[in-house]
Amino acid sequence: MSKNNNKYCLLSNDVETTSIWHNSLRDKTGLKVLKEGMPLLLDLYEKYDIKSTFFFTGYIAKLYPEVVRMIISHGHEVGSHGMSHTKENGFDVMPFNKQKQHLVESKALLEDLSGQQVISFRAPALRVNEVTTRALEESGFLIDSSVASQRFDMFMSFGGLKKLNWLFAPRLPYRTSAQSLFKKGDGSIIEVPLSASLLPYVGTTLRVFPFISSIQRRLLAMESSFNGKPIVFDVHPNEYIDEGMEERQFKKRSSNLISSFLQDTLRSQLKVKNLGLSGLDLYEREIQYFKKKSFQFTTIKDYVKQQKL
C-alpha cells in the first residue's frame, strides 16, 4: 500500500446551549459559549491558521445571532446542528415531516445570518434514523457528519440501539444510500464519518481520558497515512467555559436504575473533568500533534469538494 500524502484533519465544533456542568440546556450557558467558549476556539484556530466547521443549533443562532456571525470573517464553515437539542427533538424519534421542517428552518436561518450556503449537517447527539437521509436530500443538504463508524457506546448515550449501526458503517467518507446514512449507495448525501476506535475521538474523551486519546491519535494518524481517512474531531465550545463556581442543579434523565447510573451518575461525574482552560490546553496539544505530522486543516465542505466522492 502506498503512503498517502494528502492527510486531512477536519476539526468540527457543535455550538449549542448544553451545560455539561448542570447536565441541561440553559440560555445562560449559551451566553457563556458566545462570550467565552467561542472566542477561545477562534483564537486557537487563528494561531494555527486552521479552517474548521461549526454546526449551530437553530436555537442558539436565534438566541444569540452573533455566535454565527463571529466565525464568518475567519473563513470557517457554517453547518446545521438541527433546530433544537432537546431529547424530544432527536432525529431518531421525530417523524419525517418534522425532521424536514427542522432541517429547512435551520438552513434558512443560518444562511440568512451567515450569507453562506449551508450544506453540512450533524444531528444533535448524533441521533438519526432511516428517514433522515431523505429528509436531508429533500431540504437541500449535501453532507452529513452524524455517523461515528466503529464507535461503540453501549448504554452511555441516548439512542443506544440505533447507534449499533455505527459498528458496521464504512470507515472512509462515502456516498450514502437513499435509505440509510449508515450504508453506501447512490444517494445525494456524502457521509463524512466522525473518527472513532470503539471509543469516540472527541473533546469529551480528550478531557476525561487524555491517555486513551493519546493512543487513539497515533492509531488514527497511522490509518490516515495508509488509506487517507481524514481525522474528524468533534469539540464543543461549551467544554471550554467554566461554570464550576455555580452550584450544580443536577437533573436525572433516566428512571431505569442501571441506565440512570451509567447515563446520569457516572457520566455526570466524568464529563466535568478538565472543563475550561485545562481542556483547551489538551485540545491545543492534539492540534500540534497533527500540525507536526503535516495534516491539512480544512472545512468539511472544502474537503468533500476536493475529494469528488
Q: In angstroms, how far is CA 32 from the centroid of its own chain?
A: 19
Cβ-in-10-Å burial (0-12, 13-18, 19+) of 77 comes to buried
> Residues binding Zn ion: what is the number (CB under 5 A)?
3
Cα gap 290→45, rounded to integer Å: 13
By CB under 5 A, is residue 14 in contact with Zn ion? yes
Q: Where does this chain touch Zn ion (CB under 5 A) — which range of 14-22, 184-192, 212-220, 275-283?
A: 14-22
Q: Closer to Zn ion at the Cβ: 12 or 296?
A: 12
Place of cell 466503529: 150
Instruction: Please state the closest distance from residue 193 (CB atom) to Zn ion, in A.
Output: 16
Place of cell 445571532: 65
By CB under 5 A, is residue 223 in contact with Zn ion? no
Cα gap 112→299, rounded to integer Å: 20
Q: Closer to Zn ion at the Cβ: 33 or 169?
A: 33
Q: CA dist 82 to 8, 77, 113, 207, 233, Å?
A: 26, 16, 15, 25, 19
Which residue's Cβ has the minimum distance to Zn ion?
Answer: 14
DSSP 37-61: IHHHHHHHHHHTT---EEEE-HHHH
Cα gap 172→194, rounded to integer Å: 10
Instruction: Please state the closest distance from residue 236 (CB atom) to Zn ion, in A.
Output: 7
Contacts of 100 (CB under 8 A, 6+ apart): 135, 138, 139
Task: State the greatest distance between any 2 C-alpha atoms of the chain, in Å, as a whole number.
Answer: 55
Instruction: Please state the closest distance from residue 295 (CB atom) to Zn ion, in A.
Output: 24
Site string for Zn ion, 15-34 (x = CB under 5 A): -x------------------
Q: Closer to Zn ion at the Cβ: 80 or 114?
A: 80
Cα gap 103→12, rounded to integer Å: 19
Site string for Zn ion, 111-150 (x = CB under 5 A): -------------x--------------------------
By CB under 5 A, is residue 77 in contact with Zn ion? no
Instruction: Please state the closest distance from residue 251 (CB atom) to Zn ion, in A.
Output: 18
Q: Closer to Zn ion at the Cβ: 139 or 146?
A: 146
Q: Closer to Zn ion at the Cβ: 79 or 230?
A: 79
Q: Closer to Zn ion at the Cβ: 16 or 77?
A: 16
- Closest Cα to residue 88, out of 149, 25, 136? 25
Instruction: Please state the closest distance from residue 154 (CB atom) to Zn ion, in A.
Output: 20
Instruction: Please state the closest distance from residue 19 (CB atom) to Zn ion, in A.
Output: 12
Question: How far from each other are the two terminal CA atoms of the chain, in whole angstroms?
Answer: 21
Q: Closer to Zn ion at the Cβ: 14 or 77?
A: 14
Instruction: Please state the closest distance from residue 128 (CB atom) to Zn ion, in A.
Output: 13
Q: Closer to Zn ion at the Cβ: 16 or 144?
A: 16
Instruction: Please state the closest distance from residue 232 (CB atom) to Zn ion, in A.
Output: 15
Binding residues vs Zn ion (CB under 5 A): 14, 16, 124
